[in-house]
Structure 1
């Protein structure tokens, strides 16, 4: 406890000596996201400043100088950014040393995003604010579960400053699960773990099979990232740790875009740092509440590479709460992960996950849509526990009775190189 307090005090003291840049960002993020009286005015100001800067300092956006609203700007995607990197980069930062963030490239070549110093400070402040929203505070020991390589590992000094340990989850066999289990039981200072949802699936299943319970751990916060956290895994984690459990929606190229709330349903949108639009899947019109929508992001603080109306490739459903707050009801995965039934109707990846709950002996599953009516279902752990006909009938209930399902029993399904697990692969492209 004393060590945590010293680290926290040291962090904020150092920031104070530098003029409190992180504290100022943190205060604004907290004020806006908590609904301060002038929040909307500040949000509009941040957006206007970014748009004006982009049209005056980049080749890509200079033709939009006479814009009247953000809707006058084009919607871009990863390929647009890759093909126009130099034109999007601000001329003001051409010769400056910039921080480089790179996506994993799980489903294609990586996207490289350059960020100026003030943007990096904003990201740090986001992490602190949303960490506190998840019951995790600066200075507390935490572990990050992912596939670690020489390209993404932190330096020893960085790990020391963050009080963080890197836990590699590239292998999900029992031996590695036991190693991770011992680490969490022995290290009583470990308070928070961050991990991809698929990693939490496997870890919680293993710990439940071992008969572990909350008396064995000191974890008080679990932050699930990258993928949707299933209700079953959430229930298991609650039994195992009795911790605060939240899902976080973020990406490498921007930062924290939204996070699940504890006191309310839904994900709180990070309006302080991003202007986020929710557009229809098949057009650029605004999607209605309850409708599947594309997530389109304008980063308000990356002036090195102003990214306006960036289609992340992710899908979500929004809703309005009784107090009129707009929130994300659910993150529905990536557009490339969308599945279609045999009638050509769009299905959420969650439909597949929810229909697998009754088959809890299955360690991993992956469905591949080969064409309009043909599907391949890979199962790890189903053999000798369930009949293929039983599983096939369940999948036909939402895919269509004329679905042709080939079931393959496998010993394991590889993770993507990012460490994420792709449950749905769609090769079918409807007209």
Structure 2
């Protein structure tokens, strides 16, 4: 009853304030569910042309550019940070804005301003993709992230939105026991959203303490920020009866892509972003089926236009059912490991350690093309080091030189996430 009331109040308030979220929701729905129609194609081009022209007319960094997307330079966090004022629209300096910040994988602060229309578009993006994952406004949402690193919502807002914020650093055994009891009390209206590593930790806790645990209270699980691995996917399905959905998003822009139910590819959010896959070494377009840099143009941030923004991630586009979709997202470029032949390994080979129950954590560091370091946090004496090295060599190459270091802990980043693969050659 209370959940239905929250839903009703949300949409009533939106109606009273001009139905901006609803109209954006309907626009996103129309564009993504009729992606190849002439109307959708025309409207997406209009959005792209409009943000390019706006940037040329009002943003110092983009003045004198030609109004074609390929004429704009590819930018990244460093370029944006070093020219921060030059990326701000002169026509929005006195307008209300929302400031979002992220530390990224380096711990260096990165800030973006968003105008009010952009924040409304982001909210509507969330509403659409949440609904596709089984979540509706008013459902109880357990949100796992490093909350100390983000702007905290006030308690009454969390109550009104039915959000339970859970800091990933709080996931101790006793905390997880209480959390699981609370989830068990649910009535089929609970949704889980958060880092893959948080769900992995919960599942491994259940593996060791209560492998017969089952819950029917969860209706939706969405993973963010990290690649969804097979262990976590299978384990959450076993314990909660729900196959998790992976979402590709960032703090500075919003939802870029999301998996449909029971699919391994990602639907690109073409309603709000123009997405390109560019060559690893230059800014040439990659062909479908080739791995490259994910570069996006935000169609709705007029305060801080972000055009051809290199996200730092790698991906691959292919065509499925006459739609361009992302079939691979490998995560941060800096974490892309190569084998001894210099070929990029596009999946997390550290998952090998899941069969070694004595290991609590593992981090693979590449120091040069043939030298690697394995940092291992072992719960007890680890007697299968040679076997583990042999397993890694199957992927890295028989001529890989692997040094093992035993540590007491592999620390989380400032973002609350843990890098399991580090390529020092790219730093």
Distance in 2 (CA, whole Å) between partners of 1:103 and 1:248 is 18
1:367 and 2:340 correspond: no
Task: State whether residues 338 and 345 of structure 2, in contact with CA within 8 Å, keep that contact through their aligned partners in structure 1.
Answer: yes
Distance in 1 (CA, whole Å) between partners of 2:95 and 2:46 is 26
Task: State whether residues 28 and 125 of structure 2, in contact with CA within 8 Å, keep that contact through their aligned partners in structure 1.
Answer: yes
Counterpart residue number, 2:328: 330
Instruction: Please report the TM-score for the alignment, with normalisation by the length of structure 2.
Output: 0.94
Shift of 1:411: 3.3
Shift of 1:90: 0.6
Which runs of 5 or more residues in structure 2 are unaligned? none
Counterpart residue number, 1:236: 235
Give runs of aligned pairs for residues 195-214 of structure 1, distance below 5 A.
Answer: 195-211=194-210
Counterpart residue number, 1:48: 49
Task: State whether residues 225 and 247 of structure 1, in contact with CA within 8 Å, keep that contact through their aligned partners in structure 2.
Answer: yes
CA RMSD of aligned residues (A): 2.0
Shift of 1:50: 0.7
Distance in 1 (CA, whole Å) between partners of 2:297 and 2:316 is 18
Counterpart residue number, 1:174: 173
Q: Aligned pair count?
A: 425
Task: State whether residues 107 and 413 of structure 2, in contact with CA within 8 Å, keep that contact through their aligned partners in structure 1.
Answer: no
Shift of 1:44: 0.5
Distance in 2 (CA, whole Å) between partners of 1:97 and 1:303 is 12
Q: For residue 43 of structure 2, give the secondary structure of its aligned residue in structure 1.
A: helix
Give runs of aligned pairs for residues 4-403 of structure 1, distance below 5 A.
Answer: 4-35=3-34, 37=37, 38-64=39-65, 66-67=66-67, 69-149=68-148, 151-188=150-187, 191-211=190-210, 215-262=214-261, 264-321=263-320, 323-348=321-346, 350-359=347-356, 361-381=358-378, 383-384=380-381, 387-403=384-400
Shift of 1:242: 0.8
Task: State whether residues 88 and 304 of structure 2, in contact with CA within 8 Å, keep that contact through their aligned partners in structure 1.
Answer: yes
Distance in 1 (CA, whole Å) between partners of 2:379 and 2:315 is 31
Q: For residue 428 of structure 1, give the secondary structure of its aligned residue in structure 2.
A: helix
1:422 and 2:419 correspond: yes
Distance in 2 (CA, whole Å) between partners of 1:189 and 1:160 is 19
Task: State whether residues 315 and 334 of structure 1, in contact with CA within 8 Å, keep that contact through their aligned partners in structure 2.
Answer: yes
Distance in 2 (CA, whole Å) between partners of 1:212 and 1:155 is 36
Task: State whether residues 277 and 297 of structure 1, in contact with CA within 8 Å, keep that contact through their aligned partners in structure 2.
Answer: yes
Task: State whether residues 265 and 328 of structure 2, in contact with CA within 8 Å, keep that contact through their aligned partners in structure 1.
Answer: yes
Distance in 1 (CA, whole Å) between partners of 2:44 and 2:192 is 32
Q: Which moved more, 1:100-109 or 1:231-240?
A: 100-109
Q: For residue 274 of structure 2, give the secondary structure of its aligned residue in structure 1.
A: strand
Q: Which moved more, 1:103-112 or 1:247-256?
A: 103-112
Q: Deviations over 1:92-113 (max 9, x none)?
A: 1112231001013331412100
Shift of 1:233: 1.1
Distance in 2 (CA, whole Å) between partners of 1:10 and 1:273 is 26
Shift of 1:264: 4.2
C-alpha distance 370-106 of structure 1, shift in aligned 2 (>3 A): same
Which runs of 5 or more residues in structure 1 are unaligned? none
Distance in 1 (CA, whole Å) between partners of 2:239 and 2:150 is 33
